[in-house]
Every structure is written in structure tokens, then in C-alpha cells.
Structure 1
Amino acid sequence: MDKERILAKYVPAEAAPIVARWIDYFKCDFKVSKGRNTKFGDYRPPYNGDNHRISVNYNLNPYAFLVTTVHEFAHLQTWNEYKGGARPHGLEWKLNFKKMMRPFFEKEVFPADLKHAINSYLENPAASSCSDLNLFRALKRYDQQSQGVAVESLAMKTVFMLKDGRTFRKDELVRKRFKCMEINTRRIYLFSPLAEVFPVSGD
């Protein structure tokens, strides 16, 4: 099937040819994955004769999908250069991430506000784009309208629901994340301040 045509459903159209070339050049198995709460994308190196494998969540907006895709291809390039001898998000990966973002800046793929946020992030990229709140907020502005709200906007002790139906209570801020208790299991989870949730009670 036409990679560019398929990719254009998930990334900005002008970015699709570049990503398609990367998939072919690096002999990468590229998968559009189901939505995952814990990560936007994933990279697996080519062990036991397998190709490089990258997966990116299907439910990201086009700009978030592209940023995540570049993030994972930077892992691939770093693995090719160092064969596992570099730290996962060390200097080598950061340099590759910056380099691989360059063609999308040259094509003016990103709106001005996102370009500014990405440039700030690129000064010292974190392990995940969603761990940089400034970039994550900028990317979230391009999501389709939703009835959900950010965890940070809820009052403490508010009960909320995830899309999968599980319910939690917002308890306290721990460093940069909110400690929340799952109602049914009483297990504690840490949520990003910008995680999308659905309030069900103000108690």
C-alpha cells in the first residue's frame, strides 16, 4: 500500500514523504498502535533477525504523532550508531532528535506556537514529549474537542473517570505529578497534570 497516503492520515501531509523514506531507508516495521495511557510511542531494536520496530499511538493529533515519530526514529538512529552503547535519552539521542527534526522545520510543518515550544524542548529534550509540560500543552491545543479536562484543573479529592471506565480520586501533588487512588483497587497511580480525564463527582 502507499505509505505516504496512509501516513498522511496521521501526520501533516507535507511530513508524510519524509517519514515514508525513513521507514524504507531504515528497514523499519512501523505500526500505528492502539492508544496507550503510559506512552505515546515505542522503539524496539532489530534483535534475532527482526527489523527495527516503531509503534505510535493512533489517537494522537497530527503534530503529536509527528513529534513522537521523530522521537522514536532518533532512538533507531542512535541504536544504529552505537548498537546499544548509548544511554536511551543521553546526549547521542538528543543530537539525533534535533537533527531529525530539522527537515520538518525547513518545510514549515509546524505552526508558529508549536515551533517555538519544540525549539524550547530541543534545548534539552526529555525522555518523553509528554513529560515537558510546555510542549505537551502546546500539542494538546491541536487535539479535537473533547469533553475531558486536565487533572490539574480538578479540585483535590475530585473523583474522575478514564476512557476505559476506571475511576480515581485526585489526592495530592508529588513533585510534578498528581497522586491518585483507583477507587476499586485502592492502588495509587501518578498522573501527568495534563492527563485527560472525566470528572464524575466533586466529593
Structure 2
Amino acid sequence: MDKVKVLEKYLPPEAAPLIGRWIDYFKCEFKISRNRNTKFGDYRAPHGDKGHRISVNFDLNPYAFLVTTVHEFAHLHTWNEHKHKAKPHGTEWKNNFKKMMQPFFEKDVFPPDIKHSITNYLNNPAASSCSDLSLYRALRQYDAPKEDVYTVEKLPLKALFKLKDGRIFRKDEKLRKRYKCTEVKSKRIYLFSPVAEVELIEE
């Protein structure tokens, strides 16, 4: 099946031809991956007999899929230019991400709120990776609604919640960027991102 036709199932359709051309141009193995809770996408530099490899989670909404794909291609492009000398989300990567985002801005692929968040993210050197929360929240607005799924920041203090692996936690106070949460069984403290998805346990 034509790769652009496959990409159109995951990306905004007008973005698919350019991503298809990048896959060919950079001779990149591009894989649509199962869901990974800890990351949306991944880039692996050439190693041994393997070339560039990018994988993006299959279950992202089209805008999140596109932002993640451009994010990973910016890593690839930065590696080609600087090898290991550039920091993962340093100035070189940011400049490439900005340049590689430009064609999608010109095509008006993104709704205004996402475009605004991407622009802010790119103008803010302190936001060193796609864990930028305002961008993440803007992208999340376009997810299909999920029943019984909450983000940690939306839970009341001291609420109990469950992860997919069955472990149960209590939400405690917020530190600078993350929430302290106590695993009920082991009493160990863990730090959770405000936007981590969990299941509320009704007491």
C-alpha cells in the first residue's frame, strides 16, 4: 500500500505527502508503534547495519501524531548535521524543529490554539522538550473522549487512583512541576506529571 495513503490514516491528510517525502529523503525506517505510556515517539540514530529509525504511537490524534513526527524528524536532521555534539533538545534541534514545522504552518494544517501553543513552545528556550504542558494540553483537546480517565492534575487532593498495571496511589501535594503521590501498598513516594492519565477510585 502507498505509504502516503497509510500516513493519511494517522496525520492530517494534507501533511501526509511531505512526511512521505521525508521518509524517502532521509532513508528512514518509519514505524507506527503500539501505545507507550512514557513517550509519544522515538528516534534512533544509525547503529551497526541499521539506519535512522523513527516510531510514533498509533493512538495519537492527527495533530499530536504530526507534532510528534516532526519532533522526531528534527532529531534525525540534527543528528545528520551534528552527530553527538548537539544536545537532544538544544538550540540546534529547536532551530530544525522550527524550520521543519514551517511548511505545515504555511499549509494551515493546525487549528489556531495548537498553532499558538507550538509558536509559544518554540519561542521559549526553557521548554526543553515536548513535555511542554501547554502544548500537550492543546493537543489533548482533540483526543476522542475516554470514559473514566482523568489526568492527575484534575483529581482532588488525597484522591485514590489506579494505573493500568493495577497499582493504587494517593495524590499528595504539588511540587514545582509534578505531584507527589504515595503508592498505597508500599508507602513509596512517586512523582507524577500533571497530565498523566489515571483511573479514579471512588471511595
Same fold (TM over 0.5): yes
SS at match of 1:181: strand
TM-score by length of 1: 0.93
My pick for the range that moved more, 71-80 or 161-170, is 161-170
How many angstroms does 1:165 deviate by?
A: 3.4
**1:67-78 matched pairs, under 5 angstroms:** 67-78=67-78
Q: Deviations over 1:111-165 (max 9, x none)?
A: 1111111111111363432x21211111110000112122111112211123443
How many angstroms does 1:184 deviate by?
A: 4.1
Is there any run of 5+ residues in structure 1 with no aligned partner, and where? none
**2:64 matched to which residue of 1?**
64
Query: Aligned partners of 2:72 and 2:42: how far apart in 1?
Result: 6
Q: Assess if the C-alpha contact under 8 Å between 1:171 and 1:178 holds in 2.
A: yes
Query: Aligned partners of 1:3 and 1:177: how far apart in 2?
Result: 39
**1:38 matched to which residue of 2?**
38
**1:153 matched to which residue of 2?**
154
**1:25 matched to which residue of 2?**
25
Query: Aligned partners of 1:34 and 1:127: how far apart in 2?
Result: 25
Is there any run of 5+ residues in structure 2 with no aligned partner, and where? none
**1:41-120 matched pairs, under 5 angstroms:** 41-120=41-120
Q: Assess if the C-alpha contact under 8 Å between 2:89 and 2:129 holds in 1.
A: no
Q: Aligned pair count?
A: 201
Q: Assess if the C-alpha contact under 8 Å between 1:94 and 1:124 holds in 2.
A: no
Query: Aligned partners of 1:161 and 1:67: how far apart in 2?
Result: 29
**1:11 matched to which residue of 2?**
11
How many angstroms does 1:190 deviate by?
A: 2.0
TM-score by length of 2: 0.93
Query: Aligned partners of 1:123 and 1:49: how far apart in 2?
Result: 38
Q: Structure 1 18/166 Cα, relative in aligned 2: closer, same or farther at 3 Å?
A: farther
SS at match of 1:49: coil
% identity of equivalent residues:
65
